[in-house]
């Protein structure tokens, strides 16, 4: 995953850009969780990466998720909490798609 993809999606050092993919994801996540955006969810994870300006060490790559990385740990935790699979629209799949 490239820094430019995260920034172009609307996750920036100054916050989520209005009218962006990021704001759409945040809106969808907030509606589906009763009005809030949870810590560790797609919005907070991507915003954290956008604020830092660096995604290189996260483990989300163009070829998939790197073994032993932060991304693989996130995917494993999400899979365990959903009975063995990572759900479509979940944190791992959303971050990997961007």
- pLDDT tens digits, one per residue of 27-69: 988 888 888 888 888 888 888 888 877 666 778 887 888 888 8
CA distance 47 to 15: 7
**In contact, 55 and 6? CB cutoff 8 Å:** yes
CA distance 34 to 41: 14
**pLDDT attached to residue 20:** 94
Q: Among candidates 69, 68, 79, which has minimal Cα distance to 1?
A: 69
pLDDT at 5 over 60: yes
Q: What is the pTM of this model?
A: 0.67
Q: How confident is the model at residue 23 (pLDDT cuts 50, 70, 90)?
A: very high
**In contact, 26 and 43? CB cutoff 8 Å:** yes
């Amino acid at each position: 995953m490239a820094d430019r993809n995260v920034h172009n999606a609307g996750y920036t050092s100054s916050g989520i850009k209005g009218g962006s993919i990021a704001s759409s994801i945040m809106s969808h996540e907030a509606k589906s969780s009763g009005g809030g955006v949870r810590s560790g969810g797609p919005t907070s994870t991507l915003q954290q990466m956008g604020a830092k300006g660096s995604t290189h060490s996260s483990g989300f790559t163009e070829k998939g998720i790197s073994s032993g990385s932060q991304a693989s740990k996130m995917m494993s935790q999400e899979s365990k909490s959903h009975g063995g699979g990572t759900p479509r629209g979940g944190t791992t799949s959303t971050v990997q798609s961007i």
